[in-house]
Structure 1
Amino acid sequence: MDRIRIVGGERLTGTIPISGAKNAALPLMIASLLTRETLVLRNVPRLADVTLLGRILGNHGVDITVVGKKVGQATTDGQTFKLKSAEIVDTTAPYEMVSRMRASFWVLAPLLARCGEAKVSLPGGCAIGTRPVDLHLTTLEALGASIELEGGYVIAKAPKGLTGARVSLSKVSVGATHNALMAAVLARGDTLIENAAREPEVADVAICLKKMGAKIGGIGSATLEVEGVGHLHGAEHTVLPDRIETGTYAMAAAMTGGDVLLQNTRAELLESALDLLRSSGVEIEETPSGLRVARNGGGLRPVAVDTEPFPGFPTDLQAQLIALMCMAQGTSTVRETIFENRFMHVQELARLGARIDLRGDTAMVTGVQGLAGAQVMATDLRASVSLIIAGLAAKGETMIGRVYHLDRGFERIEDKLRQCGAHIERLSG
């Protein structure tokens, strides 16, 4: 099993290219199930989850071609996928595939909308909370589907097709919004989706669906208006930059007192996180090619923040922020409101010398003078990268085990950091 070895203490300086957003690429790939024609996706990141979803979609009959590199294209440029599902050959998504990645559960809506039936295993993914699928199912029921749970599978049927309706989500959910949107675009009549997730990745999917012929209003707002159409056609779309990767590398630069250009990203994708970093003493400048993040060596100021749905501070940056605040001059308060079991990284950060007091859904992080390298273990995707951020600043050697989590959400992270001066390497076996 691979490990990552870091010798801390080096400032990060240079340029880090930001990859396409995993959380947009996955539902965009799934959207290919909605049309017989070819969907071309550019800037697709090279991630384990993307590869796994490709196999899952292949099981349904989607042909996926990865376009070769063009002249002058850098290795950091995203991939181009051509996805075509001329015929859906299987409407079942089996346990052995769906259990490995939660987002694959989202095939439920497009299979149901296009074929009138779907049988999808209940999902898996990172062990960071229960994350029930009730919202997904009640949404599809509101659009006229019959739903049964049998043997760990969701069996959804709508033999006469789905019918537009008013769908009011009881809580903000990115996954339920994706499923509602992909079901509604092929439903008869109009659908109103209220309390929809406003995340940029949701908007990116909606923009792509419009290119495919869907009629969607209110993109980027909490109310989506969908006028169903009889079919969708092919389209070309470029995946937006990954705001979580952007925020992660911004915090890594701040942690090391570095000066880094985050290339091919946009500030509006994570304004709340950038504002928080500025309040802690980090310099952030928008440039024509991305964001410049620097800290001039002054001490970090503590912060107080709650994780919230977009446009609030994202839960997917909570672990990274806690790592950064381990070096602040004072006590920070970080409250997790999205997932009930997302502090598993805390005990591993403590092995590096962090002082963190957990009080229910809140982490009280008291800054220390310095961290010391140690052997630690990753528990999930975001926890993995929080340990890397801490290890970059820790004195001596940090060895991180179970780093396969990283490959699910960060493309070539050790290469990107090494090119900016970090002493980091991946060890096999």
Structure 2
Amino acid sequence: MNTLLEDAQAAGASVGLTADRITLQGGKPLVGRIELKGAKNLVTKAMVASLLGETPSELRSVPEISDVRVVKGLLEVHGVKVSAVGDDTLLLDPANVESAHFEVIDAYAGSSRIPILFCGPLLHRLGEAFIPDLGGCRIGDRPIDFHLESLRRFGAVVDKQPQGIRLTAPNGLKGAKIELAYPSVGATEQVLLTAVRAEGTTELRGAAVEPEIMDLINILQKMGAIISVDTDRVIRIEGVERLEGFKHTALFDRNEAASWAAAALATNGDIFVGGARQSEMLTFLNVFRKVGGAFEIQDDGIRFYHPGGKLKPVIIETDVHPGFMTDWQQPLVVALTKAEGVSIVHETVYEQRFGFTDALVDMGAHIQLHRECLGGAQCRFGQRNFNHSAVIVGPTELHGADVVVPDLRGGFSHLIAALSAEGTSTVSNVGIIARGYENFIEKLRALGADFVLEA
């Protein structure tokens, strides 16, 4: 076990960038082409789904990001053989699934919250699972209560221990009727990964229906699952005794696409995002156009560019799909600092997602945070004293500053701000950005960004 633990710690140390600070010279438009691979929010869940198969799975368009490396390590310590084929394909063979010691799981997991999704598949395969203390970006409460309560409904026994939570299924897992108080993506994934092998039928009400969820359902159906999706956020899963492996090309990363689109707008640039598709980005494209951005839809991607002229203020309210994604608002806020007038962003998904704006204010932006629900209907955070609405007054010229990355999307937003600012900025803790943006340093270089990496 000591060898496994040492390997896990070494793998964790190698995740991300060798440099953790980048100095950027702003004021230069980003121009060029970058290519997307599979979505972070789908690929890692598809890797977990491979545990459910009796035969190997093949997952294509896998990005080289640290979250993928974390899940690869977690699968390997549970006995799954993970092999790379070419630049972006993984073969996952679960023939020898086994239990893993909590210290090894914890060492591999690091700040990732992915281990919670291992529970259903491991309960089916081994009759037990363990969850260490969970991390993730500090953007809100993100409790695992939905997950644990759902697992209990399937018949799992939850035992909280000093090192984490141990789950067992002494009588196997049975189908259940579950209703989510909020359409949580993670909780929906949990139910899907657990219900497909549970005895009987599961009915999930209040489910999330994001494109990544639908692509996970596509994968599970390829494996032999029986899943129907109604228009009223109801998903029904008929449990089956056996699932096979899958062959699947992952959905493109629409969050990364929106981030580069915002970078083009904020820097007066012109970026072609290869692999992006219109259908999954419909809501974002509407807002992008309202702000004053321009785009061209092509068969192999979308060109995003600043057409000249003044940017316009907008009112945005984040929401679950098909609404405006919470992961889209942070990069777009940087562009809104350059819009002429007052923009309002009402965050309804995560209650503490505006922490990244402190750095923008230091760079000269006029942003005020409010506890009230501004610009839209009352949301679940309205009476809880969270600063979940932002008022952005522009246009303002940002200036260089020293910035520390707080979380994944906020960190990329800081890069955009530095690239659009006058002068020199230093952005530290950029390793976090590697969790969800593949080769972002190389992509910045290809787009003509002026920067220096520092250890």
Q: Name the TM-score, length of structure 2 as normaliser.
A: 0.89
Structure 2 counterpart of 1:30, from 39, 43, 48: 48
Asked if the contact 2:364/2:396 (under 8 Å) is kept, the reply is no
Structure 1 counterpart of 2:59, from 24, 28, 41: 41
| Mapped partners of 2:391, 2:203: distance in 1 | 41
Structure 1 stretch 379-388 or stretch 111-120: which is displaced more? 111-120
Q: Indicate the residue corresponding to 2:11 in structure 1.
A: none
Asked if the contact 1:10/1:422 (under 8 Å) is kept, the reply is yes
Q: Partner of 2:307: helix, strand, or coil?
A: coil
Asked if the contact 2:366/2:396 (under 8 Å) is kept, the reply is no
Q: Structure 1's 404 and 351: CA in aligned 2 closer, same or farther, altered over 3 A?
A: same
Measured after TM superposition, the shift of residue 160 of structure 1 is 2.8
Matched, 1:257 2:232: no
| Mapped partners of 2:311, 2:447: distance in 1 | 21
What is the root-mean-square deviation of aligned Cα atoms in Å?
1.6
Q: Partner of 1:270: helix, strand, or coil?
A: helix
| Mapped partners of 1:392, 1:299: distance in 2 | 19
Asked if the contact 1:199/1:220 (under 8 Å) is kept, the reply is no
In the TM superposition, 1:20-419 aligns within 5 A as 20-69=38-87, 79-90=88-99, 94-218=105-229, 222-360=233-371, 361-419=388-446
| Mapped partners of 1:115, 1:155: distance in 2 | 13
Measured after TM superposition, the shift of residue 212 of structure 1 is 0.9
Q: Partner of 1:364: helix, strand, or coil?
A: strand
Q: Structure 1's 397 and 346: CA in aligned 2 closer, same or farther, altered over 3 A?
A: same
What fraction of aligned residue pairs are identical, expressed as a percent? 38
Asked if the contact 1:270/1:311 (under 8 Å) is kept, the reply is no
Asked if the contact 1:99/1:122 (under 8 Å) is kept, the reply is no
Asked if the contact 2:408/2:436 (under 8 Å) is kept, the reply is yes
Asked if the contact 2:130/2:166 (under 8 Å) is kept, the reply is yes
| Mapped partners of 1:56, 1:219: distance in 2 | 34
Amino acid at match of 2:81: D
Structure 1 stretch 141-150 or stretch 20-29: which is displaced more? 141-150
Q: Partner of 1:44: helix, strand, or coil?
A: coil
Measured after TM superposition, the shift of residue 281 of structure 1 is 0.9
| Mapped partners of 2:138, 2:231: distance in 1 | 29
Q: Structure 1's 209 and 91: CA in aligned 2 closer, same or farther, altered over 3 A?
A: farther
Amino acid at match of 2:48: I
Asked if the contact 1:333/1:364 (under 8 Å) is kept, the reply is yes
Measured after TM superposition, the shift of residue 63 of structure 1 is 0.7
Amino acid at match of 1:379: P
| Mapped partners of 1:294, 1:339: distance in 2 | 29
Measured after TM superposition, the shift of residue 86 of structure 1 is 0.7
Q: Name the TM-score, length of structure 1 as normaliser.
A: 0.94
| Mapped partners of 2:413, 2:262: distance in 1 | 10
Q: Indicate the residue corresponding to 1:422 in structure 2.
A: 449
Measured after TM superposition, the shift of residue 421 of structure 1 is 2.2
Measured after TM superposition, the shift of residue 232 of structure 1 is 0.7
Structure 1 stretch 403-412 or stretch 119-128: which is displaced more? 119-128
Which sections of structure 2, spanning at least 5 residues, go unmatched? 1-18, 372-387
Aligned length: 419
Asked if the contact 1:305/1:313 (under 8 Å) is kept, the reply is yes
Amino acid at match of 1:80: T
Which sections of structure 1, spanning at least 5 residues, go unmatched? 70-78
